[in-house]
Chains A and B, each alone.
Chain A
Amino acid sequence: MEDAILDFLATFSLDIPTLIYLFTVILVAVVAVRVVALTMNILAARFKSQGNKLRMLIPMFKLLVYAGVIFLILTSVFDLGSAEILVFSGLFGAAVGLGLKDVFADMVTGIIIVFEKPYHIGDRVRVEGHYGEVKDMGFRATRILTPDDDLVSVPNLLMFNTPVASTNYGSPHMMVTIDIYTDFDCDRQAVLGVLHEAVVTSRFSTIGNGYPVITLVKDFPYYVRFRVRSYVWEMADEFVYETDITVRAWNELRRMGVRPPRLALPEGIGG
C-alpha cells in the first residue's frame, strides 16, 4: 500500500505551464459561474413567474463546472491510470473517514437537494428556527437571508435531514397569515368583514383565481384571534403587506369601537 501511494505521488508533476493552465481553468470557471448567475438573476427578474426555477439553474451549473474543474486539475497534475485512480480513491476514502465526512456528507446532500428541489433559490423557507429567503445553494451549505438581514448558513446535511417548510415553492406569490387579537366583546362578523376588505383593498394583495382570501375566527378564554390568509403579489413585500393589513384594519376597528385584548385579572387583584 505504501509503495502504491508513493507511486501515485510520483505521478505528481507541476510545472509553470501547468500552473498557468490551472489558474486559467479556475478563472474561467469562476467567471462562467458569475456570468451565469448574473444572467439567471436578470432573467428571473424579467420573468417573475418562473424566477425561482430559473435561479435553480445556478447551483446546477455551479455543480457541473466545479466538478469539471476538479477533474481537469486532477488529470493535469497526476498521471491517472486505473491503478492511480484506485489509490486516489483509497486516499480520498481515508480523508473522508478521518475528518472530512461531514463536509463530504454536506456536498453529497447538496447535490441531492439541487436535483430533488425541495426548495428553490428565492423561496421563503423555515428550517430549524430560521426563516428567510434562500439566497444561494452552495456545495456545503444553503444560505438564507433572514428578514433582519442576517445571512444564515445552514449545512446541506441539516437541510436534508430536517423538515424544511417552503412557503411559496417556486411561485413569486405566497400565502401570508396575519393574526389580529381583540377583546372578547366584539362583533366577530364585522371584524371578519374589515379584515377581508383590508386584504382586497391592499396594493400588495394577489386577488384572482386560485388566490382565495380566507378569514377565520377562534375564541380563547380572554381574547379572540382573527386570522386572515391571503396571497401577496411580490414575495419581497411579505412583511410590508402584513404591516399594511394590520395598520389599516386596526384604524377601522378602533373607529368601530373594537378594542385590543385587556389584561384579565382575578377578582380582588388590581382594584
Chain B
Amino acid sequence: MEQKENEGDVKRQAIIDSVQDAVESFETGQRLNVAILTPPFSNFSIMSRDLHSSKGLSIKRHSISSFPEGEPLDEATGTINIIEGCQHLYRMRIGGFAVLKKFIRDINDDDKRLFITVWNANAFRYLDYALGIGKAFPLQVRIPELTLGDIREAIMASYDEDEIQFEYDEFQPRERVIEWMPTRARVFSKDMEIRLPRIESSALRRAILRRKVYLSAEDKVFTQIQYLSRGNLGAAKEIWIRSLQYPVIRPTYVLNACKKFMMDNEEAFVAANILRKGKVPMDELREDLGDQVALDATVATLKQKGIVKGGDGNLSIKAENLGFTLDSLAKHGMV
C-alpha cells in the first residue's frame, strides 16, 4: 500500500490551506504573521512549494538551526519566509530570551515581509504566557489532536488488509477504575509516602460504556491507543510498535506498552523543558537548568522512570509515555 506523503499529519492540507489564505491576504495588503503550533513528535513540515503566490513573491524556507545566533531575520531573504523550529530561539535561563525578543521585535517592525513560523505547541504556550509572543502572530494554526479514525487510518496505512490480527485477550484482567498511586503527602505533620486513590476516568468511562457498546478487539485497541497517546500520532505509532506482536495485537499488549509514574517538581521541570524543545542536548540543559536542579541525578531518574530517553547526548520524551507525562506535568502546572 502506498504511504501518504507526510503521513504523520492527517490534517496537513487544512493547515496549508489556512496558511495559503494568509499569503493571499498579504498580497492584498493585510499582513497576518502565522504561528503553526505542532504537537510533540510531529513531523509537520511546510515546504516553499506547498504555498503559491499569485503575484510571484519569493517564498523561502529556513530552519532556526541554520541562522547565526542573534540575527535570525537577516538570513530570511524571502518576501514570504517559512521559519521552522522556532522553539529553539530561546534558552530557559536569565538572559536566554534576548534572541527571541529581538526576533519578535523585528517581525513586528518589518511590514514588507510575511513570516510563517512553526513552533512546538508547548513551547509557544509557555512563551505566550511568559512573554506574550502570541500578539506577534495574529494567525495561529494549531494541529489538532487526532481522532480515533485518524489514528487508525494513519497506522493501518502501512499494512495490507487483514494483515494484522486483532484479538481479544483469552483472559482479560479486570480493568481497575481506582488505581493506588504512591505519592508523598504531609500527614500528621510528617512527610511520608502513601498510596493515594486515583480514579481512572478512562477506565470508568469504559466501564460504563461496556454495558452499552460492544467494542471489537480492533476498536478496543485503537480506543486505548488514542487515549494513551492523547491523540498524538507520534506517540500512537510508538505505542503501536511496542504493542504489536506481529501479526497479533491485543488490548492488554497496548496497556502494557505504557508505564505509569509520578514526578516531583524537579523532574517535572526538566521533563517540561525537554518536551518544549522536542530534542535537546544534555549540555544545553545543563547550562540552562543546572543552577536550579541537580541535573544529572534528575535526568537519571527520568530515564529510570521511562519518561525520557537519550543515549547520543540529546534528550527527548519517550513517545509511548507522552500521555502520562502530560498528566503529570499538568499537576505541576507545566503544560
A42 with B194: CB separation less than 8 A: yes
Is the CB of B131 closer than 8 A to any CB of chain A? yes
Q: How many residues on the A side are at the interface (Cβ–Cβ under 8 A)?
A: 30
Least CB separation from B292: chain A residue:
A203
Mask of B258-274 contacts with A, CB within 8 angstroms, 1/0: 00000001100100000
Q: Taking A200-B130, A203-B265 as contacts, is the C-beta distance between A249 and B187 under 8 angstroms? A: no
A194 engages B185 (CB within 8 Å): no
> Considering the chains assembled together, what is the distance between the CA atoms of A173 and B131 in angstroms?
20
A203→B293 contact, CB < 8 A:
yes
Annotate B287-325 by CB proximity to A: 1 below 8 A, 0 otherwise: 001011100000000000000000000000000000000
How close is A73's CB to chain B, nearest CB, in angstroms? 27
Contact of B97 among A45, A46, A197, A244 (CB under 8 A): A197
Q: For residue B129, which residues in chain A have a CB less than 8 angstroms away from its CB?
A: 207-209, 211
Query: Cβ of B149 < 8 Å from any Cβ of A?
Result: no
Known contacts A194-B94, A201-B93, A203-B266: does B187 contact A38 (CB below 8 Å)?
yes
Q: A203-B293, A204-B265, A208-B333 are in contact. Are A46 and B197 (CB under 8 A)?
A: yes
Complex-state Cα separation, A208 to B128, whole angstroms: 9
Asked if B269 and A203 sit within 8 Å, CB to CB, the answer is yes
Give the residues in chain B near A173, CB-CB below 8 Å.
333
Q: Which residue of chain B is the closest to A236 with respect to CB atoms?
A: B186
Q: Please, which residue of chain B has its CB at the minimum distance from the CB of A34?
A: B188
Measured CB to CB, the nearest residue on chain A to B291 is: A248
Q: Mark A235-271, 1 if CB is under 8 A from B, else 0.
A: 0010000001000110110000000000000000000
The yes or no answer to A89 lying at the interface (CB within 8 A) is no
Determine whether A184 belongs to the interface, using a CB cutoff of 8 Å to chain B.
no
Residue A234 at the chain B interface, CB threshold 8 Å: yes
Q: Does A206 contact B (CB under 8 A)?
A: yes
B95 interfacial contact with A, CB 8 Å: yes
In the bound complex, CA of A152 to CA of B289 (Å): 38
B183 interfacial by beta-carbon distance below 8 Å: yes
Assess whether A181 is interfacial by the CB under 8 Å rule. Answer: no
Q: Quick check: is A76 within 8 A (CB to CB) of the other chain?
A: no
Q: Are B333 and A45 in contact, CB atoms less than 8 angstroms apart?
A: no
A198 interface residue (CB < 8 Å to B)? yes
B186 adjacent to A41 (CB under 8 Å):
yes
Instruction: Let me know if B47 is at the binding interface, CB within 8 A.
Output: no
User: B198 at the A/B interface (Cβ < 8 Å)?
Assistant: yes
State whether B292 touches A244 (Cβ < 8 A).
yes
Residue A177, interface by CB 8 Å: no
Nearest-neighbour CB distance to chain A for B326, whole angstroms, equals 15
**Known: A45-B183, A202-B292. Contact between A233 and B95, CB under 8 A?**
no
B185 touches A233 (CB 8 A): no
Q: How far is B186's CA from A237's CA once the two chains are assembled, in angstroms?
A: 14
Which of chain A's residues has its CB closest to B269's CB?
A203
For the complex, give the distance between the alpha carbons of A42 and B196 in Å: 7
Q: Determine if A201 and B92 form an interchain contact, defined as CB atoms under 8 angstroms apart.
A: yes
CA distance A203 to B126 in the complex (A): 13
Closest 9 A/B residue pairs (Cβ)? A45-B185, A203-B269, A200-B130, A252-B94, A197-B94, A207-B129, A46-B196, A233-B333, A208-B129
Please, could you name 16 A-B residue pairs with CB atoms under 8 Å apart, sorted by A? A38-B187, A38-B188, A41-B187, A45-B183, A46-B196, A46-B197, A194-B94, A197-B93, A201-B94, A202-B292, A203-B265, A203-B266, A203-B289, A204-B265, A233-B333, A252-B95
